[in-house]
């Protein structure tokens, strides 16, 4: 190496940058692996319950369905408030449990929509998610300002969805689904950039693993919600 470069520390700076980039790549890979495994757990549980009358009949034909529908929300709140005090292994186990409970909640889609439309919507969702997450990872544009706007949209979607449980309006459901697709696509890019920026090379391994789990949770929620919104718009219902 050029002695002038050595004198000014250019070599060590380049090496540090390379190490940081490799650490970031490994961190993002861990996030996506956790998310992917979580989606697999959710899909398997949803399919198994949705294709087993002995399981879905007692659940979805009784008030127990409200417990199943609200349980994932309780998990998210628990995760958000306790992640700092959890160990990395506990955070992982809580995430897997959450994915299983979400699968139980989503079992109803196999009762409402055809298998072909579910599969088609899943691949559409995966394509949209992958492209948007890649944009969030590679863009130099600061998406922080967009994040606050998207969170306002998310709150609006939640409120409108709760109201529509009692109204049962197909027009409102259509509007919520269309806006929801836009919001969760945007949140995917925003959260990906946020996960990338939260990475710090000097953080201990335990904290890095918890960051990866929480990042996986954020992206997982975006994927699942985007899938549900698209399924509501394009899914073919059972006759």
**What is the rounded distance in angstroms from the CA atom of residue 4 to the CA atom of residue 26?**
33
Would the pLDDT of 218 be above 90?
Answer: yes
230, 121 contact by CB (below 8 A): yes
Confidence band for 3, pLDDT divided at 50, 70 and 90: low
- pLDDT for 151: 85
Using alpha carbons, select from 95, 73, 42, 64 the residue that is nearest to residue 211.
Answer: 95
Confidence class of residue 2 from pLDDT cuts 50, 70 and 90? Answer: low
Res 231 pLDDT > 90: yes
Q: Does residue 16 lie within any of the structural domains?
A: yes
* Dist CA 192 CA 209 (whole Å): 16
- 16-23 contacts at long range (C-beta below 8 A, 24 or more positions apart): 19/201, 20/201, 23/199, 23/201
**The pLDDT value given to residue 12:** 58
Element (H, E) at 151: helix 144-167
Rounded to whole angstroms, the Cα distance separating 105 from 69 reads: 5
pLDDT band at 124 (very low <50, low <70, confident <90, very high): very high
DSSP conformation letters of 173-222: HHHHHHHHHHHHHHHHHHHHHHHHHH--TTS-HHHHHHHHHHHHHHHHHH
Q: Look at residue 63 and tell me if it is in a domain.
A: yes
pLDDT score for 37:
96
Q: DSSP labels for 40-98?
A: HHHHHHHHHHHT-HHHHHHHHTSTHHHHHHHHHHHHHHHHHHHTTTS-HHHHHHHHHHH
What is the value of pTM for the model shown? 0.87
Give residue 24's pLDDT band: very low, low, confident or very high (50, 70, 90).
confident
Closest CA to 102 of 159, 146, 40, 167: 40
pLDDT of residue 123: 95
In this predicted structure, the answer to whether residue 103 has a pLDDT above a threshold of 90 is yes
Give residue 192's pLDDT band: very low, low, confident or very high (50, 70, 90): very high
Residue 239 lies in a domain: no
Q: State the total domains in the chain.
A: 1
Residue 201: pLDDT above 60? no
More confident residue, 148 or 124: 124
**Residue 169 is part of which domain span?**
3-234
Q: What percent of the chain has pLDDT over 70?
A: 91
State the pLDDT at residue 194: 92
Average pLDDT over every residue of 42-48: 94
- pLDDT digit string (tens) for 129-179? 999 999 999 998 888 888 888 888 888 888 888 887 788 778 888 888 899
């Amino acid at each position: 190496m050029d002695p002038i470069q050595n004198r000014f520390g250019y070599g060590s700076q380049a090496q540090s940058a390379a190490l940081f980039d490799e650490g970031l790549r490994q961190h993002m890979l861990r996030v996506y692996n956790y998310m992917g495994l979580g989606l697999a757990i959710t899909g398997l549980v949803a399919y198994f319950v949705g294709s087993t009358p002995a399981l879905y009949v007692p659940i979805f034909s009784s008030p127990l369905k409200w417990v199943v529908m609200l349980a994932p929300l309780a998990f998210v709140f628990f995760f958000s408030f306790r992640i700092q005090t959890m160990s990395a292994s506990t955070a992982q186990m809580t995430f897997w449990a959450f994915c299983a409970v979400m699968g139980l909640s989503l079992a109803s889609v196999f009762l409402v929509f055809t298998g072909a439309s579910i599969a088609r919507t899943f691949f559409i969702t995966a394509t949209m998610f992958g492209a948007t997450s890649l944009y969030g990872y590679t863009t130099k544009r600061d998406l922080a300002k967009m994040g606050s706007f998207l969170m306002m949209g998310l709150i609006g979607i939640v409120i409108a969805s709760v109201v529509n449980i009692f109204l049962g309006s197909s027009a409102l459901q259509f509007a919520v689904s269309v806006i929801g697709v836009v919001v969760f696509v945007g949140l995917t890019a925003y959260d990906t950039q946020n996960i990338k920026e939260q990475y710090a090379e000097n953080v201990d391994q335990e904290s890095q693993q918890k960051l990866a789990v929480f990042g996986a949770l954020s992206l997982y929620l975006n994927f699942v919600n985007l899938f549900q919104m698209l399924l509501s718009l394009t899914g073919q219902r059972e006759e």
